[in-house]
Structure 1
């Protein structure tokens, strides 16, 4: 039985990888091609609807509806001097984002302070998101190269998108973040889950609110924002959060805030509509 060359084998543990190393391969050979599998996506989505806390259904949906241009996007960025400088300074966003002691030393009102407030209030951690996704990640998705570093940043900036966009972790907020993310990382899975989730919210609505307009507005917001994964996160963390939003062309969401206001006026807690689908990729 033939085996792949040693350097092309995917590894299931990457704690040993120095993602800042100058000699880290840019993209190893043998990476799987992105292919759509709509029946698979639909099958797992139906299971997710039955139990929205079953996050094991999420990864297969992203596998079935991948961003087909992801390798080109990653390599296009990695072939720039700016990308290599960021890679040297930020080999692991998880370590940076989970070091709250260091982040708390940054100025009041900075993105770092707001990030810590959010994560501590919600009981979240960057490492926790990695662990959640790794439960259902197939071995072929682990590769010791620079493209993986880029992929990791797409995962690790999820909660930053929540904070910067102004979308909470309520059901509608999660759908809006998915739509925002689609414009940053155009996997059809983001859009599919975002609008499918909006349909589920609309089905349960007892008050007329602009659910679909909120999701569409989020998609436009993500398009207006430079790709966050390609920004220096450490530089952004030190800046006042409103300066970061201005730099990234992020304005307060109108329809999302309007939906929340209408729900609350009717005595409905937006965070108690339905359990949010925990998604990131």
Structure 2
């Protein structure tokens, strides 16, 4: 069945309701083990809101949304096929993406695997809304490359702030601020990490919707031209914070946690 043959919203799709205590419990597990990325999906599930669903539905009904569903690209397979982008220039989005993924030891398929630990595909409503949420998940690392935020704890939080303004979700916002608070508590840093998070939100709000782009064409663009076209600004406060954190001796393993995953994937 093609994506366009699926219902827009499956009748079995339900919101679990607002469960802040459950979200906090899973957040503490994430703090205890930053590698336990499955906890992110539990947090998002516990704090699901209607606004993110409504924005997704509005996009799916647009000409662009219909076109992307019609294309039916397998984004993880396409992104992980590095040979596909061999003819792209050294400053292309594709080459920056490949360098980032190789350096960090990541793959788009790996992110799919993490999300499937939370909820296997056969337990998810197979509707167009699910296709959209999977697209948010699959473009998470592309968000990293384009936005300029790294995989350190502060970078992940800022990226989620950026992502929240692109695709609002209460769970994403919770992780942003709870994670930022935890970072300040653990490091006692003098770096303006809260302002860095706010900068991420401002940049996400000002930028074009990254998940709504034609990914194959975007990958072949010059990255500087792509950022200008999408109105993605440089994360100056974030970079300032990294310098301060490093000078304080905090840029070791304690700040280099595993991907906090795009909460947008949940």
Is 1:36–1:66's contact at 8 Å kept on the other side of the alignment?
yes
Asked if 1:177 is matched to 2:159, the reply is yes
Which consecutive unaligned segments of at least 5 residues does structure 2 have? Answer: none
Which consecutive unaligned segments of at least 5 residues does structure 1 have? Answer: 1-16
Distance 1:160 1:69, change over 3 A: same
TM-score, length basis structure 2: 0.91
Where do 1:1-281 residues align within 5 Å? 18-19=2-3, 22-33=4-15, 35-137=17-119, 142-205=124-187, 207-266=189-248, 268=249, 270-276=251-257, 278-280=260-262, 281=265
Distance 1:110 1:73, change over 3 A: same
In 2: Cα distance, 1:260 partner to 1:166 partner: 13
Is 2:154–2:193's contact at 8 Å kept on the other side of the alignment?
yes
Q: Deviations over 1:92-126 (max 9, x none)?
A: 21121111110222222110111011101111000
In 2: Cα distance, 1:249 partner to 1:255 partner: 17
Q: Secondary structure at the match of 1:135?
A: helix
In 1: Cα distance, 2:170 partner to 2:123 partner: 18
The number of equivalent residue pairs is 262
Is 1:91–1:149's contact at 8 Å kept on the other side of the alignment?
no
Is 1:48–1:57's contact at 8 Å kept on the other side of the alignment?
yes
Is 2:187–2:250's contact at 8 Å kept on the other side of the alignment?
no
Q: Deviations over 1:36-66 (max 9, x none)?
A: 1112112222222222222232222111111
- Higher alpha-carbon Rg: 1
Superposed CA RMSD in Å reads 2.0
TM-score, length basis structure 1: 0.86
